[in-house]
Chain A
Amino acid sequence: DGGITQSPKYLFRKEGQNVTLSCEQNLNHDAMYWYRQDPGQGLRLIYYSQIVNDFQKGDIAEGYSVSREKKESFPLTVTSAQKNPTAFYLCASSTRGLGGSYNSPLHFGNGTRLTVT
């Protein structure tokens, strides 16, 4: 079955360490996204990529970095510069980016819960 795989489901890190969250999709989707979810708030866009080797900052990109070397993979690195990294991180994909047709539902992974102490 096609889908999006995020790993690991739970991640614990010490403050000051960089950590990379994995996101892999086998849906042959062009666009991929990283969102952050905090209690009581809507999802917020960190980074997105509409095509391989290209990505754009979202609303809260500071302290994060991404790469898109393969269509299937869009890893997110949470760096030590991120002031409040503890959160639930969701990866998503769609057949086209938001800049294309709106008629493109989002597919989400099951998320990674990151705790930094």
Chain B
Amino acid sequence: KNEVEQSPQNLTAQEGEFITINCSYSVGISALHWLQQHPGGGIVSLFMLSSGKKKHGRLVATINIQEKHSSLHITASHPRDSAVYICAVLVSSGSARQLTFGSGTQLTVLP
């Protein structure tokens, strides 16, 4: 079983719709990252959070440490939001820390 599970794997929405992407993890973590991978392959860091909620423009990321769950919300979606969204968790093991990545959610926003 993967330590990081994302849902859905694929999501198609109409422009303007509200979008939610979910990330569940099975281990204790220090922090969680949300990343955006563009069709060309480059990855951009969207959020890094360890509690509560963060907002940037039309994007909001939330995390519930007790439930081991995070969500990424996109308000008023636009075709330029089409990308793969990746959740990654920072796991501490003794003095070592490691990022474990989900397999991503492919979002397509249609005009």
Which residues of A line the B interface, CB within 8 A?
A: 40-45, 88, 90, 92, 98-99, 102-103, 105-111, 113
Q: How many residues of B contact A (CB 8 A)?
A: 27
Instruction: Kindly state whether residue B52 has any CB partner on chain A within 8 Å.
Output: no
Interchain Cβ contacts within 8 Å, total number: 60
Residue of B nearest to A58 (CB): B98
Neighbouring A residues of B48 by C-beta, 8 Å: 102-103, 105
Neighbouring B residues of A41 by C-beta, 8 Å: 103
Question: B62-104, CB under 8 A of A: which get 1 and which 0?
Answer: 0000000000000000000000001010100001111111111
A-B residue pairs, 6 tightest by C-beta:
A42-B101, A108-B43, A110-B42, A111-B41, A98-B97, A102-B31
> Which of A99, A108, A111 meets B44, CB within 8 Å?
A108
